[in-house]
Structure 1
Amino acid sequence: MRGRTMSGRGSNWLLAKVRDVGVKVIIDLRTADHTDRYDRNVAEAGLEYHNLPIDSRNTDVHQIIGSLPLLFELMDNGGFYIGIVV
């Protein structure tokens, strides 16, 4: 999906593509958006969505550390896509 933004408007077809290749869970490490549009699009594509922001400038470090067990569990289960802005 390099060069594409799955959270962008009109990109629902990308979510269907990743689902069709076996992805079951979207792990979004970005700081949460102001809307729930992406969350809804992921659910409509039949995927599970988790937002676990890791931006220490906008997220309390204790919250980041607290989310690590869930992140590791999701990764251990496989079938995931991680979204992050670099």
Structure 2
Amino acid sequence: MIVEDSAPPGVLVAGRLARGTTGEARRVVHVFGLDAAATDTELVRTRCGEALSRQDVEWLVPGAGMPCEPCLGLTGGEPARAPRRELGV
């Protein structure tokens, strides 16, 4: 696990509502800034703007679970590109 003090700026973490806190349809994996995982506030804000109770969040490794599409779209990654066409095809 990355310690907040040693992490470069812009590090993102993943989490979702824990089992039993909501219905399965709402248990999508959201993207958070590292500061959300480390601060002591009661609510944490996802990249898509949803405010979740910190005690209800299950922190995950990236790639686990069904992603929140709005969060993925707002992570600031490289924009999608069209596939490269092969010559003569």
TM-score (norm 2): 0.27
Instruction: Specify the structure having the higher radius of gyration (Cα).
Output: 2
Q: Which has the higher helix share?
A: 1
Q: Which has the higher strand share?
A: 2
Quick one: higher RCO (CA 8 Å, sep 6+), 1 or 2?
1
